[in-house]
Chains A and B, each alone.
Chain A
Amino acid sequence: MSDHEHELTRRDFLRRAVRAGIAVSMAGGASYLLYDPVGPGPISWEEGLRLPDFSVPPVAGKTIAIVKGADRKKSLNRALELLGGVERFVGRGKRVLIKPNVAFASPPSLGATTHPDLLAELIRLCFRAGAREVGVLDNPINDPGSCFLLSGIERAARENNAGLIYPGHELFRAVSLPGGRLIRNWPFLYEPLARSDVLIGVAPLKSHHRSGASMTMKNWYGLLGGRRNIFHQDIHTIIAELAALVRPSLVILDGITIMATNGPTGGSLADLQAGNTLIASCDAVAADTWGCSLLGLQPGDLPFLEQARALGAGTTDVAALKPLVAETE
């Protein structure tokens, strides 16, 4: 025999055969375990993350307040007074989370973001009611640092001892809306909500190139992560599903200055009109239904309203809620 040959003994053969057999079995076994002849099925909702329900117990006749006036501070105070006082929503020792619209790096004067004066007053009211802590968060479309700074939101939060929550990766978790078509295992700014007791949305009233209007329901878009722009193709459904997913304690729709054209970014002072109206509501669908009239729209012009109603997110029959209407000086 040459140097490259050797005798294959029975022992060698058996060893090789066993090793080969083990390797084949492992490969085959792994394939069998990984094989899925059926394919992905519907997600089991019981396994998915659920958002806390922040809604407050309903009080008949105190669901929605509409205040006319040009002063944000006065209008906010009057609206909350009509609904039973801020204490109805913010209890002593509670952790409050406020979600303004800080989507763009735009100054308050251009109306594309929540006005910092309104946010500042709301923070003060929360602390006056005994809140343990107040956080402000959003996942802006532009760079978060620029957005919070240029919109004046950062200053409003800092000067009133509220914490500003930047949308770090670690705060997002996959969330699903049971029965939802779009919000299925989608990254969501979950962690701050999970740690809070009260959730308040504060949104400016704007026209929107895609959806027709951007109000309190559209405001929750800023809690989505990932490549959320793909939802623009089905904008009405995503707004409706967000309304069904997020159950806030209160929403505030700022129609004191309205972006009547070229929303959601605007850019020109000529896009703005005086609306002189502020709406505070426990029902975001009702708030937006009433609010669209300030843009000269009918509820039927905004499909997401009816879709949200159909999902059980609220009512479009504002009259049935007996809205409380007042005026400030």
Chain B
Amino acid sequence: MNRKKRPLYFPHQPGRTERRISVFILLVLAGIAILVLWRQSSFDLTRYGVIGSSAAKSGSQSVNSVRSSFRLPEIRSLAPPGYEPAGKGERYDADNLFEKIDGKAPLYLEAGFRNLVAQRFVDRQEEGRWIEVLAYDMGLVTNAFSVYSRQMRPDAVLIALPDFSCRSANALFMVRGGIYLEIIGSKGDEKTRSALLIIGRRIGRGGGERPPIPELTLFRGDRLVAGSEKLYLKNAFGYSGWSNVYTAKYKSGSAELTVYFSRNSSAQEAKKSADAYIAFLKGDGGKELPAGANPPGLAMISYLGSIEAVFVINDFVAGVHEAEDQQRALKISALLAENLKRRKGDE
């Protein structure tokens, strides 16, 4: 028997070169595996039509943006007397917000939504009576105000809680700092409304010292319809060139007119923006009408059966939207122009 014959699985010890080549190949394979894992872990949901956390970067990011230092109290501590938290509460981010509010999610996502914290409180004594607090962190006061103002119910009652608040029969809607809150009761009676107010006051504590959005003070005068102010972050009036546009309603006789303004980075930008809007209206069939000289540079366009007024004051583009009467539009334009001029003088 040949003692020197070894089993086949002990052929020989690899040499130095062989070892080096083997290690190199293994490193390359490991690198490929790591690369694949890294790519797979960070796929772009937007390719599949799902708005991912990149939506947090949307919303107002301009001269109109307003930040706040407000921090919401611990949500479970908001329970009014006689109520207790039901469950641990829920938390949602941009990726799963739809799991709470379904088709309304884009309204918030497009306005800079960051996260939602929701907590239900149940009445200890009465089954079926509960209140749910939904706190949407929109990042900026302006973002929060935009979603608040655009969802304002026609018969909402304004209440004096900072920073902005109104109520309906069973719900309280608030903006406090960069947080938009919906506080919804299961019943629409006085008992519920009292509990909603208690929660609202706790949230509003410490606020109200100064206007949360200074631009809104430009809407003033006794003709202003209280609570009609809105902020469109994008596509105001269906026009893609209009971003960060504030609107409000003013009374004129028996009618209400919608006025608007948007602040730009400079007077030149404001002029460009106004010219682009006028060109858009004319390109879509609008006809220019003779306009007065007040404010200077005022343009009036007859468009789809109503009148659009556009003018520039310093770095503001402003005007009247969908007016039915040209004279009324002229008067309100002059009024708004005065407010805007005074603002520049204040600064």
A-side residues, CB < 8 A to B, are: 1, 4-7, 9, 12, 15-16, 103-104, 107, 109-110, 141-142, 150, 208-211, 214, 227, 229-235, 261-265, 267-271
Contact = CB atoms under 8 A, between A and B. Distances in A.
B155 interface: yes
Nearest to B102: A141
A154 to B, nearest CB: 13
Nearest to A9: B5
Contact of A232 (B106, B128, B156, B171): B106
7 contacts: A6-B5, A16-B8, A110-B170, A110-B184, A210-B104, A267-B171, A270-B155
Nearest to B155: A270
Contacts of B186: 107, 109-110, 150
A19 to B, nearest CB: 9
A103 B107 CA distance: 19
B48 A230 contact: yes
A262 B104 CA distance: 8
Contacts of A263: 103
Interface of B: 2, 4-6, 8, 10-13, 48-50, 98-107, 128, 151, 153-156, 168-171, 173, 182, 184, 186-188
Given A6-B6, A142-B99, A262 B11 contact: no
A265 B101 contact: yes
Contacts of B99: 141-142, 229
A2 to B, nearest CB: 9
Contacts of A1: 4
A264 B102 contact: yes
A4 B12 CA distance: 5
The majority secondary structure among interface residues of chain B is loop
A270 B104 contact: no
A146 B235 CA distance: 37
Contact of B4 (A7, A16, A142): A7
A302 to B, nearest CB: 14
Given A103-B102, A142-B99, A269 B168 contact: yes
Contacts of B13: 4
Contacts of A104: 102
B100 A141 contact: yes
A54 to B, nearest CB: 26
Contacts of A208: 103
B188 A265 contact: no
Given A229-B50, A229-B98, A269-B188, A209 B104 contact: yes
Most chain B CB atoms below 10 A, which of A109, A208, A235: A109
A264 B8 contact: no
Nearest to A218: B103
A234 B48 CA distance: 11
A156 to B, nearest CB: 14
B167 to A, nearest CB: 9
Nearest to B173: A268
A115 B224 CA distance: 41
Which 7 A/B pairs are nearest by Cβ-Cβ distance? A233-B49, A210-B103, A6-B6, A270-B153, A270-B168, A229-B98, A268-B168
B8 A209 contact: no
A262 B151 contact: yes
